Structure 1
Amino acid sequence: MMALAAEDVTCAVCLEPFASPVSLYCGHSFDRECLLELVGSPCPICRQSLVLANVALQPKNALIRQAVRAFFAANTMGRVLVQAREDDHEERRVARLAAAKPVVRSTSSGRRSPTPDVSVSWGSVVFFQALSFPWDAVFGPAGLQDEDETPESCALSWSIVFMFVCCFLLSQMVTYMLDI
């Protein structure tokens, strides 16, 4: 088993042990709280991929979290520090969720309906997520085809475009139905 260094279990932004590690598409990991401050900016290490707004919804990287706990398992003070940071991050997350209060507005029928403070066009979110998905990970890089293979027909490309358009239209209809 390879020994871990302190740099492997610390966030490159705040320089503290990971409390809620989240990995970006480029593979670099940071604390969720640090990434929330960097939404829209490039990765602090490689400057390649952008930190997307959905970073708050991404799951924690369980492998890094286990590595942090294993690294500080022998050190009682380190264990206390990691647990305190995890508790602090969890309290902040719960406080953020508790602070999001619904706004009550009346609809055209006179009924009052709670709606969130932030209006999100779910269609554009779904469409953007579909475009930002790493398709090379699914289909493989385009440059690594055998010369003996016959090239794929463009039907596959058009079916993907058709799927994106259908998803976008469906999400727009759902958004419209929820706004009514």
Structure 2
Amino acid sequence: MKFSHFFWIDREYFAPKIREQIDFGLTLFEDEKPKNAEEAIKEIVGAVDGVLARNQDWHDFHKEMIFQVEPNSKEDISFLLELSIYEQKSMDLYKREMYTESLNNMLVYIQTYQKQLNEIDEAWYTQVAASLIYPLDPVRSNDQQILAKDKSLKVLKPRHKYLAKNTKVKGRQAGIIK
């Protein structure tokens, strides 16, 4: 597996021109890999010297590379704006101690944008949802945290490992016990 597969997992959060520069940097040695560290350092220093010396060939190459990159579409931007609106609304409801409404707002966000969220983001927002309901219902909060942990190992561990079970009581408990 190539190094670039492990690097910049959350690339979609960078501007397209920055992503292009990162990709270029990761592919510098793809064709002719240096034989040792000294050779690699020598190549890197040569490239840096070209940039610092304002080498016209390097300048033209970089300019052409950047101009070929397509800008973000408005859909990407609107998705991020929607994200901030839902988060702000959830936090406002939480501050007003409207915990259930706050949780429901966050869950609607997660469900609405599930296709656009990666697993880590979905787990993160599920964890946020768990924290929103905790003051009112710690059991439900733990259930949300279990769901978050199932989506990604990069979130906090839940207090308990198992989802709470709802039990149905038939009739009055005192009568059943008697």
Structure 1 or 2: more strand by fraction: 1
Shared fold (TM-score greater than 0.5)? no
Structure 1 or 2: more helix by fraction: 2
TM-score (norm 1): 0.25
Larger radius of gyration: 2
TM-score (norm 2): 0.26
